[in-house]
Amino acid sequence: MTKKSGENARESGAGMNDMVFQNIAKSKKALAHSISDKEPATQDNEKEKPTPKLVTTNEELIYQIQEKEKLAIALLAVNQELLYQNAENEKRAAELIVANKELIFQNEEKEKRAAELIIANKELAFQNSEKEKRAAELIIANKKLARENIRKAKLNVEKVQRATELIVTNRELAYQENRGTELTLAIDELNKAKEELGAFSYSVSHDLRAPIRAINGYTQILIEDYADAINDEGKKVLEAVIYNSKKMGLLIDDLLAFSKLGRKQVTSTDINMNALVKSVIEDIAIEEGGTIPQFEVANLLPASGDQSLIRQVWINLISNAIKYSKYKPETRIKISATAENGSVVYCVQDWGAGFDMEYYDKLFGVFQRLHSQEEFDGTGIGLAIVQKIIDRHNGKVWAESALDVGSSFRFSLPSTNPLNK
């Protein structure tokens, strides 16, 4: 209850009290008039008797006045109770006002606290997010550290092993120091022996050509001049002699070419591979009655090398591709080139007889053959010459093959393009 409503209640109670007192006063005044009226009436009674109706009216009036007095007293008690209750309500209202003010203050404090909590929660969420990021970074860092520790541990083990090896090597070197002079002399002697062996091989190969030519020539004379005196069996023997002498001549020529490679100085120039391969294909003789090869030649990148030696490489590889495809319905040869890490890799691919990769280690050896002489002729030196030429150009040569499917021979040479180096 507000202060204004309390004041209205007090004013209402005071008004009712005044009304009660006024009614009581009026009743008393009316009773006094009644009594005063009775006195003249009594006096007049002496003169004449009052009427019964008047007497009854006065009694009724007295009764009503008495009732009104009782009612006034009751109303007075009610008003006093009402005044007491209004006073209590005013006290309660004042207490409620104080309580409401306290409640408003507490609500404002709670709102402030709630705002502070929201800010604190945001800050806490940000801190948690940063902690999660930091935790993720720490996990990654720990993993890197673990890998680094493992790597360092491996390096330590390798260092210990290397130290052990160095100790053994140092001991061996200390043991070999006294033999250093002997080893130097031995190396010099070995180099001299290699030079002498090369010269001897060249000399022997060169000297053998003359008797082989003589055997071939005399045998040819017997066949031509004494054909009538020689029977068919003798002719077959002479033809075999001619065939083997030619084969021996080719073998000697290949040996001479192989021995010359060790002494020939390599002079590198830029080679137009398209022109070189085209001339090699045009110059290779096709056997009479043989299948004409179908060449598929891609654009060949230029390379650096000794053109005469690289020409021999192409001759040997293309000749082999043709030779080992002679039993196929068609002879297909594909030639291509690719740039790889500062080098050019060339490829000669055929779909001929192929070979078993189990015997790959024998492929580039001197006099090594993976097919019989009766099946495919040859001296077994061609691929050895190819490897030696490519080795002298600091390149590599290798092959891939499958029996009766075909072969791919590849070799690498230094590139002439600076962008590929």
349 has pLDDT over 90: yes
Q: What is the mean pLDDT of the chain?
A: 76
Query: Is the per-residue pLDDT at 397 higher than 60?
Result: yes
Q: According to the model, what pLDDT value does residue 156 have?
A: 65
Range with the largest mean pLDDT of 85-99, 194-208, 239-253: 85-99
**Mean pLDDT on 153-160:** 68
Q: What is the pLDDT of residue 271?
A: 92
pLDDT tens, position by position, 96-155: 999 889 999 998 999 998 899 899 889 888 988 888 888 788 778 768 877 776 777 677
State yes or no: pLDDT of 162 exceeds 80: no
- Mean pLDDT for the stretch of residues 264-285: 85
pTM: 0.44
CA distance 371 to 320: 12
Q: Which domains does the chain have, with CATH numbers?
A: 267-420 (3.30.565.10)
Q: Among 263, 273, 344, 283, which Cα is nearest to 310's?
A: 273
> According to the model, what pLDDT value does residue 161 have?
72
The residue whose two tokens read 């043709």 is: 322
Which pLDDT belongs to residue 286?
A: 56
How many CA within 13 A on the CB side of residue 129? 6
pLDDT of 78 strictly over 80: yes
* Residue 406 confidence (pLDDT) above 60: yes
Between 279 and 185, name the one with better pLDDT: 279
